[in-house]
Amino acid sequence: MTYTAGVQDGTNATTLTSYTSNGALLRLLGVTSSPASTAWPANNDAYAIPFRLSVPVAFVGCFFMAGTSPGTTTYDLGIYRDDFTLITSLGSTAAVNTTSAVLPVGAGTFTTPVTLARGRYFMAMSSAATTLTAAAIAPTNQILRALGMFKMATAHPLPSTFVPASMGATTFMPLMGLTTTANAVL
């Protein structure tokens, strides 16, 4: 008898976030701080945070946690393959100036659900301006590099190919995530 695994509708949860996908390593490295409202580091910068899937998962959308004054600039959220080619993104989306809200409100939905095979991917986010605030942690850039996080300048909206650059002196990891089911609670 042969068993063929199907697509999961989640990874034992309905969401995968930048923190849950790297939480064990963050704790191992001594990062225990809670996210705080942080201004986007530079106009048009994008940040890519790696995550791994041990089984195929179908994602339907994405979100980020706004800071205390997210403003009304535009942002983009998406998923990249391990080779930094774009799989999908929301496209340039206007922020809603609501303190500590999950944006887009109700979570953003991809044009079509995306099924990712087992492997390594990157969730990415960009912002048009530093007026956007996001819930973020600020570990040292050495820790961000150890996690495999990258940034890219002039990357808003998210480009078809992410050209990874060193985090440099940047100490910024936004709280963002991917949803496996349409969730109006977000």
Which CATH number is 150's domain given? 2.60.120
Residue 164: the pLDDT is 94
Q: Give a yes or no: residue 30 inside a domain.
A: no
pLDDT of amino acid 127: 96
In this prediction, residue 98 carries a pLDDT of 82
Cβ atoms 71, 182 nearer than 8 A: no
Give the alpha-carbon dihedral of 8, 14, 15, 21, to 10 degrees.
-60
Assigned domain for 159 exists: yes
Give CA–CA dist 172/160, Å, rounded: 23
Lowest mean pLDDT among 22-31, 73-82, 108-117: 22-31
- For residues 73-97, average pLDDT: 94
Residue at 135 is within a domain: yes
Give me the mean pLDDT over the 163-171 stretch: 90
CB 47 within 8 A of CB 123: no
- Domain residues for the domain of 87 are 35-179
Rounded CA-CA distance 143/6 in Å is: 35
Q: Is the alpha carbon torsion for 185, 175, 156, 98 positive or negative? A: positive
End-to-end CA distance of the chain: 41
Over residues 139-165, the pLDDT tens digits come to 888 888 888 899 999 999 999 999 999
pLDDT for 15 beyond 80:
no
Count structural domains, the chain: 1
Q: What is the pTM of this model?
A: 0.86
Q: What is the spatial distance between Cα 17 and Cα 120, in angstroms, rounded to a whole number? A: 14
The answer to whether residue 63 is domain-embedded is yes
Average pLDDT over residues 16-25: 71
